């Protein structure tokens, strides 16, 4: 018997889930090459904490999301909490789940293991968005939080996001410490598990969602009331944010938007879209059709777990008359909106006089940093992921985060929620749009005005699927390009061991990121995806507006983006990866 078959049989013998065990046994009994390849992939390794926790395809084995992996991870978490947060038994852990396949079942497993280790569990109502979990951790005073979600991943995926008592996702070394403990959990059949009637399993009522709604509404700078209410189309993208977002709009005094009915109810199969990611082409087609039907002013969309926001505006030059704003456009516009209100004396709720900080990830546009500098507010560029963005304040002890964003449609205003929050961002975007309309202008015009002052900053993202992203990154480090698209590389920053990104601020922690600055002012960043087998490229072209020629600057920046995009693969990947794969 092969080692693979021995390992698979040993896992199946202790797998707590009948269906997963049967799946392994089916693969073991199937002599076909396809079954062997699938079995090999199921046991190719163990899911690891990435940018947003554990995430992977549902299925059997340690390389999939299932009850066995969740049991092992949660047992390790319980031990880590005993060693590092002894108050956890009293304070408890908040557990939530979205509407994906097996989400409720996996959340039940988390609760059963924690209660089996004598840790109180605060179980949120099912099918709720991720930002509610992030808020609830601090609101309840829990020691940690676990959210079962795969955000905007394909339907076959699920995941495990882990927060500590500060309401933020874990960062190194906590992730490595918990993974090391996972390896020492022992047989899954011997992990202590509580029954569903355990007094340590406590259901959280609707008071927490109500407190969350009050907190996010109070976190929005008040926009001026427009002469006429904005006509808005909203889609929940078959996810779990819809009702809470509509409740937030009502509490904030906004009229009910026109909701895309076909995408309103949670559905783990996401039947009306090829991908539930609002960044993907076609994801907003139904919303655009409804917007054309009612002649709307704005389109807003949540992703499936409600932590991201997409926004679109009318554009006669775009196919179908509507254009989705990029994450950088929304982030820069919202950041400038917050900075304007800070200058006018606005302060978020429970403000204790702490100086504000603005933040964005290093793969996001550099434009917000220039706007913050002109406002006299410190700006921090962080590693990718909101677990880093919400910790930007660590660079300025005693400060408070006023606004943070990442180009992948993630935004936060204030610190009521220490993670990206699409519901909060949607309220802020409506407040900003209303403010602009009251002043006789629009979101698009506002963005153009910012470009005239700070220069055109055009960004784009590209990805290349590969089963060996580490090999490609090693190859780039061994043989970095000296030019890209005919432009000379004048600066290279490798974050593999950490590096100073901004003068005067602490070095960023180690990360698998390479950055190349060109003599044209453009910038290219490369990193492996934290959730999928691909390399991701982030390009920014910066062109000043000379003699008021905004159209010329826009055209030249767009042309440079296109030239760089065409040159990326031959310039950076025109050689085999270091592994030779």
Within 318-461, residue ranges assigned H as helices are 327-343, 367-375, 386-389, 422-438, 443-454
Backbone angles phi, psi at 505, to 5 degrees: -115, 160
What is the pLDDT, as a whole number, of residue 229? Answer: 86
349 pLDDT exceeds 80?
no
The share of the chain scoring above pLDDT 90, in percent, equals: 87
Whether residue 370 contacts residue 325, with contact meaning beta carbons closer than 8 Å, is answered with: no
Query: 487, 491, 466: which is closest to 571 by C-alpha?
Result: 487
In DSSP terms, which residues pair with 309 in a beta bridge?
A: 302
**Lowest mean pLDDT: which of 150-164, 405-419, 566-580?**
566-580
- Read off the tokens for 71: 């049991």
Q: Which residues contact 478 (CB under 8 A, 6 or more apart)?
A: 578
Three-class DSSP category at 134: helix
Q: Which residues contact 484 (CB under 8 A, 6 or more apart)?
A: 516, 518, 524, 564, 567, 568, 571, 572
What is the pLDDT, as a whole number, of residue 267? Answer: 98
- Read off the tokens for 508: 């960023």
- What DSSP element (H or E) covers 456? strand 456-465
Whether residue 123 contacts residue 204, with contact meaning beta carbons closer than 8 Å, is answered with: yes
CB neighbourhood size of 533 (10 A): 11
Output DSSP code: residue 230.
P
What is the pLDDT, as a whole number, of residue 471? Answer: 87
The catalytic position among 151, 182, 366, 375 is 151
pLDDT tens column, 118-166? 999 999 999 999 999 999 999 999 999 999 999 999 999 999 999 999 9
Query: 500, 99, 137, 79: which is closest to 265 by C-alpha?
Result: 99
Give the strands of the sheet with 121-123, arranged side by side: 54-57, 157-164, 144-148, 93-97, 121-123, 201-203
- What DSSP element (H or E) covers 294? helix 285-294
In DSSP terms, which residues pair with 158 in a beta bridge?
A: 56
- What DSSP element (H or E) covers 107? helix 103-116
469 pLDDT exceeds 50?
yes
Q: Which residues contact 375 (CB under 8 A, 6 or more apart)?
A: 339, 342, 343
Give CA–CA dist 216/501, Å, rounded.
32
How large is the average pLDDT for residues 332-361?
A: 90
Q: Which domains does the chain have, with CATH numbers?
A: 3-205 (3.40.120.10), 206-454 (3.40.120.10), 455-573 (3.30.310)
Q: Which residues contact 319 (CB under 8 A, 6 or more apart)?
A: none
Q: Catalytic: 151?
A: yes
What is the pLDDT, as a whole number, of residue 226? Answer: 66
In DSSP terms, which residues pair with 536 in a beta bridge?
A: 463, 527
What is the pLDDT, as a whole number, of residue 20? Answer: 97
**β-bridge pairing 356-361 and 379-382:** parallel
**Lowest mean pLDDT: which of 469-478, 522-531, 563-572?**
563-572
pLDDT tens column, 245-276? 999 999 999 999 999 999 999 999 999 999 99
Give CA–CA dist 142/149, Å, rounded.
20
Backbone angles phi, psi at 317, to 5 degrees: -90, -10
pLDDT grade, residue 581 (50/70/90)?
Answer: very low
Q: 367-405: buried (b, 16+ CB within 10 Å) or exposed (e) per residue?
A: bbbbbbeebebbbbbbbbbbbbbbbbbebbeebbbbbbb
Backbone angles phi, psi at 491, to 5 degrees: -155, 135
520 pLDDT exceeds 80?
yes
Q: What are the angstrom distances between the C-alpha of 95 and each of 69, 134, 284, 321, 544? A: 16, 10, 31, 42, 49
**β-bridge pairing 514-518 and 523-528:** antiparallel
580 pLDDT exceeds 60?
no
**DSSP structure string for 49-80:** -BTTBEEEEBSSSTTSBSHHHHHHHHHHHHHH
**DSSP structure string for 164-187:** ETTSSB--TTHHHHHHHHHTT---
Give the strands of the sheet with 258-259, arranged side by side: 258-259, 232-235, 298-302, 309-314, 322-324
Give the strands of the sheet with 379-382, arranged side by side: 379-382, 356-361, 400-406, 410-413
pLDDT mean across residues, the chain: 94
Q: 453-462: buried (b, 16+ CB within 10 Å) or exposed (e) per residue?
A: ebbbbbbbbb
Give CA–CA dist 516/557, Å, rounded.
17
Output DSSP code: residue 42.
H
- Read off the tokens for 539: 């390009």
How large is the average pLDDT for residues 497-515?
A: 94
């Amino acid at each position: 018997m092969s080692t693979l078959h021995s390992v698979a049989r040993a896992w199946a013998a202790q797998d707590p889930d009948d269906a997963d065990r049967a799946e392994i046994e089916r693969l073991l009994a199937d002599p076909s090459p396809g079954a062997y390849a699938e079995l090999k992939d199921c046991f190719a390794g163990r899911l690891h904490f990435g940018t947003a926790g554990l995430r992977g395809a549902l299925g059997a084995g340690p390389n999939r999301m299932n009850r066995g992996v969740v049991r092992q991870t949660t047992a390790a978490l319980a031990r880590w909490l005993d060693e590092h947060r002894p108050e956890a038994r009293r304070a408890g852990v908040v557990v939530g789940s979205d509407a994906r396949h097996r989400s409720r079942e996996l959340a039940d497993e988390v609760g059963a293991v924690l209660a089996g280790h004598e840790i109180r569990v605060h179980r949120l109502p099912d099918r709720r968005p991720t930002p509610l979990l992030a808020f609830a951790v601090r609101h309840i005073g829990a020691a940690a939080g676990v959210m079962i979600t795969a955000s905007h991943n394909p339907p076959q995926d699920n995941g495990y996001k882990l927060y500590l008592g500060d309401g933020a996702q874990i960062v190194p070394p906590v992730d490595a410490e918990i993974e090391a403990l996972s390896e020492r959990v022992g047989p899954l059949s011997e992990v202590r598990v509580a029954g569903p009637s355990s007094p340590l399993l406590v259901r959280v009522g609707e008071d927490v969602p109500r407190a969350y709604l009050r907190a996010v509404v109070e976190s929005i700078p008040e926009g001026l009331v427009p002469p006429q209410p904005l006509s808005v189309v909203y889609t929940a993208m078959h996810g779990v944010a819809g009702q809470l977002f509509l409740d937030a709009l009502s509490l904030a005094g906004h009229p009910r938007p026109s909701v895309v009915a076909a995408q309103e109810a949670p559905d783990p199969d996401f039947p009306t879209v090829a991908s539930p990611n609002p960044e993907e082409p076609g994801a907003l087609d139904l919303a655009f059709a409804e917007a054309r039907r009612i002649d709307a002013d704005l389109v807003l969309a949540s992703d499936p777990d409600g932590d991201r926001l997409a926004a679109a505006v009318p554009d006669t030059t775009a196919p179908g008359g509507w254009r989705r704003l990029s994450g950088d456009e929304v982030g820069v516009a919202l950041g400038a909106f917050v900075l304007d209100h800070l200058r006018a004396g606005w302060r978020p709720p429970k403000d204790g006089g702490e100086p504000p900080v603005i933040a964005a990830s290093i793969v996001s546009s550099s434009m917000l940093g220039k706007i913050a500098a002109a406002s006299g507010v410190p700006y921090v560029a962080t590693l990718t992921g909101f677990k880093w963005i919400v910790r930007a304040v660590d660079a300025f002890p005693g400060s408070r985060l006023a606004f943070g964003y990442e180009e992948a449609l993630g935004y936060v205003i204030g610190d009521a929620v220490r993670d990206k929050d699409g519901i909060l961002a949607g309220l802020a975007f409506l407040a900003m749009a209303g403010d602009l309309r009251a002043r006789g202008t629009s979101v698009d015009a506002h963005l153009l005005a910012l470009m005239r002052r700070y220069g055109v900053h055009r960004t784009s993202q590209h990805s290349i699927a590969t089963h060996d992203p580490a090999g490609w990154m090693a190859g780039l480090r061994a043989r970095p390009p000296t030019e890209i698209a005919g432009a000379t590389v004048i600066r290279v920053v490798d974050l593999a061991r950490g590096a100073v990104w901004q003068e005067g601020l602490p070095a960023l922690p180690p990360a698998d990121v390479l950055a190349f600055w060109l003599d044209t002012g453009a910038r290219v960043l490369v990193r492996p995806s934290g959730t999928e087998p691909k390399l991701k490229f982030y390009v920014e072209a910066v062109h000043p507006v000379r003699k008021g020629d905004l159209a010329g600057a826009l055209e030249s920046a767009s042309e440079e983006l296109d030239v760089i995009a065409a040159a990326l693969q031959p310039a950076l990947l025109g050689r085999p990866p270091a592994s030779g794969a």
